[in-house]
Copies of this chain bind each other. A is one copy, B any other.
């Protein structure tokens, strides 16, 4: 694409000299790695320093940027847009040669029982197995080896990467992405202790319900409810190797990073952010817009929305940070305490002598 084509397509404004002689844009790159023929972007002010040295042909910048003071090289061309990062992503997507991941149609080795309902324009890879009475929506794509249980429902325009397992009766909305090896609807971990110290399995008779526009990472596991449903609300994004226990509810547009685990019957609010390797206790509630920092362990409910938490056990981030800073001083404090003890004993002795 030429620079003018890109600018027009993005609704941006071109600024620079000698634009007609600039090379066509063939690649995108990070500002510090870009070369001639590359388009890059500047969103974070921290990276402004690279404007003087970048070899990029074009830089996407915010309309708010004062270009006069920032033009590093005379030959650098700018396109001003509302959101340089989002614009960059659009170009990235358009410029990257696409690999067709899914072959249209139902592969002859896929197993689809006659009582299943399969929508239009499906892509179903080799060795996919669809359960009895299952329903698959229009335009949904499934990689090789996916297994959909009996009476399960998958919405429209979903993408299931290879070897995903959806257990019986679970319900998945539209435009949901499930990455390879994800397991949806395995039994909740419920056992009633018996008098002899052994355990009786508690039947797990509920389902998992996943709403629209959810993305679930590779090898993540979401357990079905004992009764009712484990519910992942719309727009939730879950990373790889996350564990969601039975009867958990995740509110809309909450984001959960890799290896985090949420124990049974806990309710996470809307628009929360849980970083990696976080653990959340069972039967508690986390308020909307809560942020939990990496590796934190949350033992009890968080009632006030919009706060950040950190630590093991987790506390409000400001408190926790003060605590962890003080912790580093502990050996010095211990030493100082011993010194003070001696001084006070000495003082007591001296005072007695007077």
Contact = CB atoms under 8 A, between A and B. Distances in A.
Contact of A279 (B93, B197, B277): B277
A351 B350 contact: yes
Contact of A215 (B132, B163, B201, B336): B201
25 contacts: A93-B203, A99-B150, A99-B169, A101-B150, A125-B129, A127-B127, A127-B145, A143-B165, A161-B186, A163-B163, A163-B165, A199-B237, A221-B240, A258-B263, A276-B279, A277-B279, A319-B328, A323-B327, A323-B331, A327-B327, A333-B333, A336-B341, A340-B340, A351-B351, A351-B354
Contacts of A169: 99
A168 interface: yes
A208 to B, nearest CB: 12
Contact of A203 (B92, B161, B186, B337): B92
Interface stretch (A47-55, A187-195, A301-309): A187-195
Contacts of A213: 198
A340 to B, nearest CB: 6
Nearest to A352: B350
B125 A89 contact: no
Contacts of A180: 147, 165, 167, 183, 186
A15 interface: no
Interface residues of A, number: 111
Interface of A: 28-30, 85-86, 89, 92-93, 96, 99-101, 103, 107, 109, 111, 125-127, 129, 132, 143-145, 147, 149-151, 161-163, 165, 167-169, 177, 179-181, 183, 186-187, 189, 191-192, 197-203, 205, 213, 215, 217-219, 221, 223, 227, 235, 237, 239-241, 243, 245, 253, 255, 257-259, 261, 263, 271, 276-277, 279, 281, 294-295, 297, 299, 312-313, 315, 319, 322-331, 333-334, 336-337, 340-341, 343-344, 347-348, 350-351, 354
Given A271-B197, A295-B312, A322-B331, A240 B161 contact: no
B235 A199 contact: yes
Contacts of A186: 161, 179-180, 217-218, 240
